[in-house]
Amino acid sequence: MVSTGAATGLPGLLPELAVIRKDFPILERTLAGGLPLVYLDSANTSQKPQVVIDTMVDHLERHNANIARAMHQLGAESTEAFETARDKVAAFIGAPERDEVIFTKNASEALNLVANTLAWKGDRQVGPGDEVVITEMEHHSNIVPWQLLTQRTGATLRWFGLTDDGRLDLSAIDELITERTKVVSLTWVSNMLGTINPIAEITRKAHAVGAIVVVDASQAAPQLPIDLAAMPAEERPDLVAFTGHKVVGPTGIGVLWGSRAVLDALPPFLGGGEMIETVRMEASTYAGIPHKFEAGTPPIVEAIGLGAAVEYLGHVGMEAIHAHEQAITAYALDGLRTVPGLTVLGPLDAASRGGAISFELDGVHPHDIAQVLDSRGIAVRAGHHCAKPAHARFGVQSSTRMSSYLYTEPREIDALVEALEYTRSYFKLD
Amino acid sequence: MTATDLDALYQEIILDHYKHPHGKGLRDAHPDHTAEVHHVNPTCGDEVTLRVHLRDGLVEDVSYDALGCSISQASASVLYDLVVGKSVDDAMAIHEEFLTLMQGKGTVEPDEDVLEDGIAFAGVAKFPARVKCALLSWMAWKDATARAIDGSIAGDGEK
């Protein structure tokens, strides 16, 4: 059991942590039996600050109208709020151009948009003999779309393996990324192992052979400062996907950022309203980005909520949030190390990893761990975390995952460690 | 859930079967009467490979290899105890009884004469997320038994 006394003074914690926590109303609720909530499942979905909730309610109460077509005041207000949200998202990731930000339903849709349009006729079309390179640590949403693409086009799917400590095995990079490579798609931060991948190095390599680079930033966007415009062009990915609900925004909204050059070269994805320039019965011409990829009425209030969310994170400061995550992660790794029979999957140094920590506990299945933790008010995730190949790589079928965020306190990690000890005694492991 | 709910879920009987499963392991038998299936719970990844061996209308053996939580492991062990040695018809009736219990959302009073140790799963029925854990091997058994009766050979009954 870890002592709690010194923890409050942990270096790197957000100085206003108590104030931050007050921004998240759900953290004040209690669970069955009056237990306080210890929410350690933020890599699954983050909690929402009051400002996001209020912004969405205010929009629905006062400004609701469809965007970009309603010739009335509410329509203008709604359109402005929606497009301002795009500006805020662009600022959050340092997008070189605000029109390069495409709103999607979630990260999966963003990745599928890319994998689908690459199969169709266009300058970037993937075909027989071409290769797509992914990694063994991807979330299923960055594996299956590429399997579908390569199966449909006759291209070949290849992947980076993993080292025993949960990093990408880059030893074969020259055999993997070749002149046949058309696409390299990889996660920035692993949702299971926590590993932070060397995006710049891999992107430089891929660009050198003319391949485009797609980055799944679903776990990176919440915790790493991202400044795309500041990255050298040869190290900047071409497409970056993330989801709103992991960056304290609502569900139902995701983001695909893409460089104008690549987005212009991809054919449209979904056809419909808003994505056209003009429509005749014989054929149509298409709008420019971002609207080219936003057919139909979008999730308007969700996008506006996302705008409020990333603005909130920007006010707290992504550098400060990253430092907080690292401090909590290091503290958690230390605490978990004290639990007998516990093995962490992935890198063991907090500096090279994100805030999701998956682990095994000898003799207790992850579902049973999660159930016992839940009986003490502690929410974690148990299962394969939509990363079955990464689990298979380490010879495990499933794992338990704790994941922190900007509102996580050291005492919550203490509660987790204590509850894991309790789990061991509940299943009579001593 | 509270600590009391936790104890209702993890009855001693369940933990005993989890620690000391009955009939675990895949065994060979006369192929004419055997069917093998592999079932997966896609949400959690729990897996069971299960063989049914029938002879003269009796369930001669059920052998299995399973990966999963305590509930799914204990449930396979209880299944083994309840159906081996019974006629296929009787075993199917027990299956129905267990299914009714598990799908009853905690409102069904289990019959100990029929379900024996299986009554310990009455608490599981109150946890919708865990019901599928308890049913994994039972559904696999029903599938394998149907295949064995059909005379289909060891199949790829992946679900």
pLDDT, tens digit, 9 for 90 and up, residues B107-139: 888 889 999 999 999 989 988 888 999 999 999
- Pairs of residues, one from chain A and one from chain B, whose beta carbons lie less than 8 Å apart: 60
CB contact under 8 A, B130 and A371: yes
Q: What residue ranges do the domains of chain B occupy?
A: 3-150
A-chain residues within 8 Å CB-CB of B5?
32, 375
CB contact under 8 A, A372 and B5: no
How far apart, in whole angstroms, are the C-alpha atoms of residue B132 and residue B138?
10
Residue A5: the pLDDT is 39
Q: What residue ranges do the domains of chain A occupy?
A: 5-42+317-426, 52-315
Please indicate if any CB of chain A lies within 8 Å of the CB of B5. yes
What's the gap in Å between the CA of A365 and the closest CA on chain B?
Answer: 5
What stretch of H or E contains A203? helix A199-208
Residue B34: the pLDDT is 87
Q: Which amino acid is at A82?
A: F
Residue in chain B lying closest to A372 (CA): B6
Task: Using a cut of 0.90, tell me whether the model's pTM lies above it.
Answer: yes
Q: May I ask the CATH architecture of the domain B3-150?
A: Alpha-Beta Complex (3.90)
CATH number of the domain at A52-315, out of 3.40.640.10, 3.40.50.720, 3.30.110.40, 3.40.50.300? 3.40.640.10
| CATH T-level fold of A5-42+317-426 | Aspartate Aminotransferase, domain 1 (3.90.1150)
E-state strands within chain B: 34-40, 47-55, 58-67
Residue in chain A lying closest to B71 (CA): A368
Residue A400: the pLDDT is 97
DSSP class of residue A62?
I
Residue in chain B lying closest to A32 (CA): B1
B-chain residues within 8 Å CB-CB of A429?
none
A174 alpha-carbon distance from chain centroid: 28
What stretches in chain B show pLDDT beneath 50?
Answer: 152-159
CB contact under 8 A, A398 and B45: yes
CB contact under 8 A, A426 and B10: yes
**What order do you get walking across the sheet with B34-40 strand by strand?**
B34-40, B47-55, B58-67
How far apart, in whole angstroms, are the C-alpha atoms of residue A27 and residue A22?
8
Beta bridge partners of A343: A360
Residue B159: the pLDDT is 40
How far apart, in whole angstroms, are the C-alpha atoms of residue A192 and residue A391?
8
How far apart, in whole angstroms, are the C-alpha atoms of residue B2 and residue B126?
13
Please indicate if any CB of chain A lies within 8 Å of the CB of B153. no
What stretches in chain A show pLDDT beneath 50?
Answer: 1-6
CB-nearest partner of B2 from A33, A367, A383: A33
Q: Are A184 and A133 in contact (CB under 8 A)?
A: yes
CB contact under 8 A, B130 and A367: yes
Q: Are A264 and A212 in contact (CB under 8 A)?
A: no
B-chain residues within 8 Å CB-CB of A418?
none
Averaged pLDDT of chain B: 88
Preceding peptide of A410 cis, ω within 30°: no
Q: CB within 8 A of A113, min separation 6: which ones?
A: A102, A104, A256, A269, A293
Residue A4: the pLDDT is 42
